[in-house]
Amino acid sequence: MNQPDEKELFGKLKNGNKKAFESLFHKYYGYLCVYASKIISDNDAAEEIVQDFFVKLWEKREHLNIETSVNNYLFKSVKNLCLNYIQHNKIKSDYAKTVALNAEHLVTENLDFPEPDLFEKIENCISSLPEKRQEIFRLSRQEGMKYHEIAKKLQISIKTVETQMGLAIKTLREMLKNSITFFTFLL
């Protein structure tokens, strides 16, 4: 397909011609996926970027103006989307590293000065809860059961489990607030 044919095809696309869109899609999809994959080194993400591009192309078709060739427009658009993808992933990665460092610092900070008999104090607080609330709390936090599993085991409603857990956590936070900041953060 030469440039005048592509411009004509793109003109039809702008007017909502689905056949023109399908022709562009079938002609360029594979090439654009390979191109995107070389930029971001991830075949699945590259395909997703190209698919999203074609969806946006169709949605915004009426407002598009191509000043270069259709070929240049398509490849440049996909390149820009790939660069945005790389930038977004870099931001996410940097944020994850920052969170991990902050969490590590918080843990280290709290472990440097452990309170004597901390676990005993926590156990005493849990033991002071009403019997059913204590049982629900232990099943959730110590045995790792989900609320619906606790409800089934104790033959009570999930809402009751949620309420009792909320009250247990509130009570424990209040009782331990002066002892350890980190523990209340985990609750």
Does residue 149 sit in the same domain as residue 69?
no
pLDDT, residue 182, reads: 45
Q: Which tens digit of pLDDT belongs to each residue from 55-67?
A: 998 988 888 877 7
Residue 109 is predicted with a pLDDT of 52
Q: Are residues 89 and 34 in the same domain?
A: yes
pLDDT per residue as tens digits for the range 4-49: 577 788 888 888 889 988 988 998 999 999 999 999 988 898 999 9
| Mean per-residue pLDDT, 94-114 | 64
Same domain, 43 and 73: yes
- Tell me: do 89 and 40 sit in the same domain: yes
pLDDT at 115: 59
The mean of the pLDDT values for the chain is 82
Asked which of 93, 125, 158 is the last residue of a domain, the reply is 93
Asked if residue 168 has pLDDT above 60, the reply is yes
Task: Tell me the mean pLDDT in the region 159-163.
Answer: 92
In this predicted structure, what is the pLDDT of residue 187? 47
Cβ atoms within 10 A of the Cβ of 36, count?
A: 25
Based on the fold, state whether residues 87 and 17 are members of the same structural domain: yes
Tell whether 108 is covered by a domain.
Answer: no
Among positive and negative, which fits the CA dihedral 120, 125, 128, 130?
Answer: negative
Question: Quick check: is 100 in a domain?
Answer: no
Whether 99 is in a domain gets the answer no
Helix H or strand E segment including 5: helix 3-14
Name the percent of the chain lying above pLDDT 70: 85
The Cα angle at residue 70 between residues 33 and 60, in degrees rounded to 5: 80
Do residues 152 and 75 share a domain? no
* Count of structural domains within the chain: 2
**Same structural domain for residues 120 and 172?**
yes
pLDDT at 77 over 80: yes
Q: Quickly state the pLDDT bin for 157 (edges 50, 70, 90).
A: very high
Task: Decide if 107 is inside a domain.
Answer: no
pLDDT at residue number 180: 53
Mean pLDDT, residues 83-105 taken together: 79
77 and 10 in a common domain: yes
CA separation for the pair 109, 102 (Å, rounded):
10
Give a yes or no: residue 105 inside a domain. no
Boundary of a domain, candidates 58, 93, 128: 93
CATH of the domain at 158: 1.10.10.10
Give me the domain span that covers residue 127: 115-186
What is the pLDDT at residue 184? 42
The per-residue pLDDT for 100 is: 74
Q: What's the CA gap between 83 and 65, in Å, rounded?
A: 22
Last residue of a domain, which of 36, 59, 93?
A: 93
Question: Is the same domain home to 86 and 140?
Answer: no
Q: Is residue 98 part of a domain?
A: no
CATH code, domain with 45: 1.10.1740.10
86 and 155 fall within a common domain: no
* 97 has a pLDDT exceeding 80: no
pLDDT at 96 over 50: yes
pLDDT exceeds cutoff 80 at 86: yes
